[in-house]
Structure 1
Amino acid sequence: MKYLTIDPTKAQHPTRDHTAQLPTSLPAEAKTLHHPTKPGSENASLYFVGTATTILYLKSHQHLKVLLIEHREWEGIRIMTDPVTGTRVTNPAFDLHELPRIDLVLLSHYHADHFDQEVEASLRRDLPIISTPHAKAHLATKPDGEAFTAVYDIGFFEEMFVDVKSAGETGGRKPGIKVIGMPGKHVPSGGFLGTANDIIKAVRILIYISGDTLLCPELQEIADRYSHLGIDLLLLHLGGTTVPSPSLPLLMITMDAKQGVELIRLVKPDVAIPIHYDDYDVFLSPLSDFEKAVKEAELEKKVVILDRKDKGSREINDRVPINCNVGITIHLRFKQALITILEY
């Protein structure tokens, strides 16, 4: 197993070209939702920024804090997935430089619609990133001082333990999360691309981020390994991405509505949230297709739609208003504490 330490008590800008003071929180969301069957007493939240970009906030668990780590201060951690802020059909809910402290980036794969040039140029070089070997090969070897210095790669079913450092740390039991590389196929069999996706695991808390994959036989092993433990949250990358374009759909390279429903049936999550479906012009399968398929499969109680029909506007650097996604936060309640107590 690989190891990484993050320090949420150290407030740093996630970007290196910031000009303003570090925000203490995310920009205000336009809408707040709750767990579809277990509202109240939430211990986590997911802020949907757009495409596959989300910010997962895992709160500390006060009961465990008192009993097991009472000498430690740990309010929670922020994990950002697949950061993209560049201009597209519909733009992100806020600008990259409006981000507060980010403790860890999970990058499903190194493609421009998941980690664009603007993000790559702006992010702080020592910001911890967990991704694929392909992503590390590109990010960690850039010349002229541009290399990212804290990129960690994991392969299929390879594990990385992330220790969460806290103020007043004196040793003993420590909170943390585990990230596990998941298999997937970005193109049908015989293609040349692949991706490792992510599960965040903490004390039987399982969050499966599908990444850009098609429904393929390799995903059965995910169900075999983890479904009996209970997957709490599934973030589904949908859209039925086609190449070269929806008007000439020669090849589909991400799940469409039908495959998304089948993955829900396969891994049986407590809650599934679709993302990655409308911000670019390469998507053939709209959100409405998935909503219809979910209803036909009678899975409405398992799925939360972060509907962004209401569009907002924001100003970019040259102060020109552009259409953008409305930030939406869903508050979640997981079965147990969102920290793993280990002794080592």
Structure 2
Amino acid sequence: MSGSSIKHTLTLDPSTPKPPTRDHASHPESLPEAKKTNVHPKGSSGNENASLFFVGTATTILEWEGIRLMTDPNFLHAGDHVHLGPGVTGTRLTNPAIDLHQVPRIDAVLLSHYHADHFDAQVEASLRRDLPIITTPHAKEHLHDHKAGSDKFTDVYDLAFFETMLLNIKPSSPSPAAGTAPAIKVTGMPGKHVPDGMLSIANDLLGAVPPTNGWMLELGHRDTADLAAFTCGYRIYISGDTLMVDDLAEIPRRYAGHNIDLMLIHLGGTTIPSPKLPLLMVTMDAAQGVQLMSLINPDVTIPVHYDDYDVFLSPLEDFKKAVSSAGWEDKVVYLDRADQYRFTVKS
């Protein structure tokens, strides 16, 4: 957990005005004003200092201490198609809150897995090649190892389950606590697109559905004199595209006694090979989503990845009904595209 060794270290400088794409088109300096701003279901603390902006699908933009992390960038529009595996395609039903050229400076990308509904062809062609990407070993092979010349992404960091990297943030102003500086710990969390058992074994051999990660983000402050000393001020678990598999039980064991403030849960009940022939579910439906809430026990849950493609067969309304049946309405915040959630990272 917090005492795990650091596999990679990266320093992010919010004063460096690098656009997210490699063209020379101008990008805005900030995100657009949110359509709706949400706070904790039990009310505002009055001192929120971080935010999460929902773009669509599993694409969000986290802002804290002047830096921006973007998750699973997908900027396709309604009617666009994606390839999801051998003989499997999906059609987007919605538009993103903003287009890629409207995205301001991004300091790093968290990519849960190499799948076109999480990293579309336009994104892959457009992102600047030195943009830091934190992802799975499988995705690193595709983005770095197997590319050459100007196509290669040069700053890709791979994390297996429970491996950790540290994002040091160059502070724009003095830290409230002397001798400390803001930082984010990123730890790979387990996830599987296919159920445990023979299907999982077969997929490991065939590689039909790519391996996927979840993430644990710990926003906090490191001791500038002791780089191993870190104090977490807010903890976010991102499920990634996973089913309710046995490996997830290791998460509450490792984080026992440590509050998980927010969970971003990938829902939708994605089915393959097609909505007309739903043979296999590869992301959580409403029932599994509530099971994960019970397992992880986060303070707040925000569902994402729930209605953007025609392969999603478990609508958000099903999850709302399941949450209501469990009596957990005060533990969930629902975001539409272009909404944001504001929260407080303790110093």
TM-score range, shorter chain: 0.7 to 0.9
Cα distance in 2 for partners of 1:158, 1:42 equals 29
| Alignment correspondent of 1:262 | 291
Range with bigger deviation, 172-181 or 256-265: 172-181
Match of 2:215 among 193, 198, 206: 198
| Alignment correspondent of 1:176 | 183
Q: Give the deviation of 1:27 after TM superposition.
A: 1.8
| Alignment correspondent of 2:20 | 14
Cα distance in 2 for partners of 1:167, 1:220 equals 39
| Alignment correspondent of 2:246 | 217
| Alignment correspondent of 2:106 | 102
With normalisation by structure 2, the TM-score equals: 0.83
8 Å CA contact 1:160, 1:178 repeated in 2: yes
Q: Give the deviation of 1:143 after TM superposition.
A: 2.0
Match of 1:77 among 64, 67, 76: 67
Question: What aligned pairs does 1:1-344 form with structure 2 within 5 A after superposition?
Answer: 1=6, 2-20=8-26, 22-39=27-44, 40-58=46-64, 60=65, 76-87=66-77, 88-141=92-145, 142-166=147-171, 173-189=180-196, 190-191=199-200, 192=203, 193=209, 194-202=211-219, 203-204=231-232, 205-306=234-335, 308=336, 326-334=337-345, 336-337=346-347
Aligned length: 300
Cα distance in 1 for partners of 2:161, 2:280 equals 24
List runs of 5+ in structure 1 lacking aligned partners: 61-75, 309-325, 338-344
Residue by residue, what CA displacement relative to the aligned partner does 1:161-182 show, whole Å, maximum 9, x if unpaired? 111124599x964321110010
Range with bigger deviation, 198-207 or 134-143: 198-207
Amino acid aligned to 2:68:
R
1:251 is paired with a residue whose SS is strand
Amino acid aligned to 1:36:
P
List runs of 5+ in structure 2 lacking aligned partners: 1-5, 78-91, 204-208, 220-230
1:111 is paired with a residue whose SS is coil
Residue by residue, what CA displacement relative to the aligned partner does 1:5-31 show, whole Å, maximum 9, x if unpaired? 1111111111112422x3111022222
Amino acid aligned to 2:17:
A
**Sequence identity of aligned pairs in percent?**
58
Provide the alpha-carbon RMSD of the alignment: 1.7
| Alignment correspondent of 1:321 | none
Q: Give the deviation of 1:277 after TM superposition.
A: 0.7
Q: Give the deviation of 1:112 after TM superposition.
A: 0.4
8 Å CA contact 1:32, 1:331 repeated in 2: yes
Residue by residue, what CA displacement relative to the aligned partner does 1:64-114 show, whole Å, maximum 9, x if unpaired? xxxxxxxxxxxx211100001122210101110111111111001110000
8 Å CA contact 2:272, 2:311 repeated in 1: yes
Q: Give the deviation of 1:333 after TM superposition.
A: 2.6
With normalisation by structure 1, the TM-score equals: 0.84
Residue by residue, what CA displacement relative to the aligned partner does 1:109-152 show, whole Å, maximum 9, x if unpaired? 11000000000111010011100001111101312321000100
2:55 is paired with a residue whose SS is strand
8 Å CA contact 2:14, 2:172 repeated in 1: no
8 Å CA contact 2:113, 2:136 repeated in 1: yes
